[in-house]
C-alpha cells in the first residue's frame, strides 16, 4: 500500500544553502510519528520542502502514492496534508472565526477514512471552548496557547488525512501542553495521522508511537516510542543540544 506521505532521497536547498541530504521518510495512514532532532538539523525544512518553500533538487515527495512534481502549500492541502507551522502564524486582521473558516477553504473537504463527519466550526468550539468565547476577537489578541489552539483548529477545518505539527508546544505553559496532548490524541484516535516535530519528550511519549530522528539534514535513526526510562534516554540522545 502506498504511504500517506513519502519523501524519497530528497535534497533541499534555500538558495545555495544545502540543508536536506538524501532524506527519506514515510508516514502511513493513521500513524502517529514524532520527527526529532537538534536545533538546526532541518526539521522545519522537511515541512518547507513538502510545501515548496524550500527548493527540492533531488528526490521525490509523494502524497497518497502520487508524486508531487512542484510542491505548493495548496497542493499539499488539496491532497489532505496540512501544516501547523512553527510560530503559529495566525492572520492578524482576521477574527478567530474567520481564521477557522479560512482553514476550511484550503482543504479537500473530506478526511481520509470517511468514517467521521467533516470538521466544522461548532465541533472546533467543542474541542476548544475558549475559541468560542473569543470567536469575534482578532486572532492576534489571543494568548500564545489560544493562538496555538486556533492554529490546530484551523488545520482541522481542512479535514486533513495528515497534520504536520511543527513544535506546537514551544513556549507554552504545561497546563496548555497537557490540553493540546489530549486534543492530538483525540484527533489521532479519529484516524488522522500526525507528524509531530517536538523537543518535549513527555509530549512525544504521550502522543507518538514511532519516531524518526534527524541529524545533519537526513533521517539517521528510527524506532518505536517506548516510555520507559531507557526508551526516553534513547530519544533524548537525538534531541539534547
Ligand X SMILES: Nc1ncnc2c1ncn2[C@@H]1O[C@H](COP(=O)(O)OP(=O)(O)OP(=O)(O)O)[C@@H](O)[C@H]1O
Binding site for ligand X (CB under 6 A): 14, 17, 19, 37, 39-45, 86
Minimum Å distance from CB 97 to Mg ion? 29
Q: Which does 74 bind (CB under 5 to 8 A by kind): Mg ion, ligand X, none?
A: none
Q: Which does 213 bind (CB under 5 to 8 A by kind): ligand X, Mg ion, none?
A: none
Minimum Å distance from CB 71 to Mg ion? 18
Q: Which is nearer to ligand X, 19 or 127 (CB)?
A: 19
Q: Which is nearer to ligand X, 11 or 97 (CB)?
A: 11
Q: Is 95 left (phi over 0), alpha (psi -120 to 50) or beta?
A: beta
Q: Which does 65 bind (CB under 5 to 8 A by kind): Mg ion, ligand X, none?
A: none
Q: Which is nearer to Mg ion, 124 or 239 (CB)?
A: 239
How far CA 72 is from CA of 20, 81, 107, in Å, comes to: 18, 11, 13
Q: Which is nearer to ligand X, 86 or 140 (CB)?
A: 86
Minimum Å distance from CB 43 to ligand X? 3
The residue number whose beta carbon is nearest to Mg ion equals 44
Q: Which is nearer to ligand X, 36 or 156 (CB)?
A: 36
DSSP string, the chain: ---SEEEEEEEEEETTEEEEEEEEEEE-TT-EEEEE--TTSSHHHHHHHHHTSSEEEEEEEEETTEE-SS--HHHHHHTTEEEE-TT----TTSBHHHHHHHHHHHS-SS-SS-SSPPP-HHHHHHH-HHHHHTTTSBGGGS-HHHHHHHHHHHHHTT--SEEEEESTTTT--HHHHHHHHHHHHHHHHTT-EEEEE-S-HHHHHHH-SEEEEEETTEEEEEEE---SHHHHHHHHHHH--
Q: Which is nearer to ligand X, 1 or 17 (CB)?
A: 17
Minimum Å distance from CB 39 to Mg ion? 8
Minimum Å distance from CB 120 to ligand X? 32
Q: Which does 39 bind (CB under 5 to 8 A by kind): Mg ion, ligand X, none?
A: ligand X
Binding site for Mg ion (CB under 5 A): 43-44, 86
Amino acid at each position: 500500500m502506498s504511504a500517506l506521505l513519502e519523501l524519497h532521497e530528497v535534497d533541499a536547498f534555500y538558495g545555495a544553502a544545502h540543508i536536506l541530504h538524501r532524506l527519506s521518510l514515510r508516514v502511513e495512514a493513521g500513524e502517529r510519528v514524532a520527527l526529532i532532532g537538534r536545533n538546526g538539523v532541518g526539521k522545519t525544512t522537511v515541512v518547507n520542502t513538502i510545501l515548496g518553500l524550500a527548493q527540492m533538487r533531488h528526490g521525490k515527495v509523494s502524497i497518497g502514492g502520487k508524486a508531487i512534481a512542484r510542491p505548493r502549500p495548496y497542493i499539499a492541502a488539496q491532497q489532505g496534508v496540512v501544516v501547523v507551522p512553527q510560530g503559529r502564524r495566525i492572520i492578524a486582521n482576521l477574527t478567530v472565526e474567520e481564521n477557522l473558516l479560512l482553514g476550511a477553504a484550503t482543504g479537500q473537504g473530506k478526511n481520509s477514512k470517511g468514517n467521521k463527519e467533516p470538521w466544522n466550526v461548532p465541533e472546533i468550539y467543542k474541542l476548544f471552548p475558549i475559541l468560542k468565547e473569543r470567536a469575534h476577537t482578532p486572532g492576534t489578541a489571543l494568548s500564545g496557547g489560544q493562538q496555538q489552539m486556533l492554529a490546530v483548529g484551523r488545520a482541522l477545518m481542512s479535514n486533513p488525512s495528515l497534520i504536520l505539527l511543527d513544535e506546537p508546544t514551544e513556549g507554552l505553559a504545561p497546563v496548555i501542553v497537557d490540553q493540546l496532548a489530549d486534543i492530538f490524541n483525540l484527533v489521532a484516535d479519529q484516524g488522522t495521522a500526525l507528524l509531530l516535530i517536538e523537543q518535549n519528550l513527555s509530549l512525544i511519549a504521550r502522543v507518538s508511537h514511532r519516531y524518526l530522528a534527524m541529524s545533519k539534514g537526513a533521517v539517521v535513526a528510527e524506532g518505536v516510542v517506548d516510555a520507559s526510562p531507557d526508551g526516553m534516554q534513547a530519544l533524548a540522545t537525538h534531541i539534547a543540544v
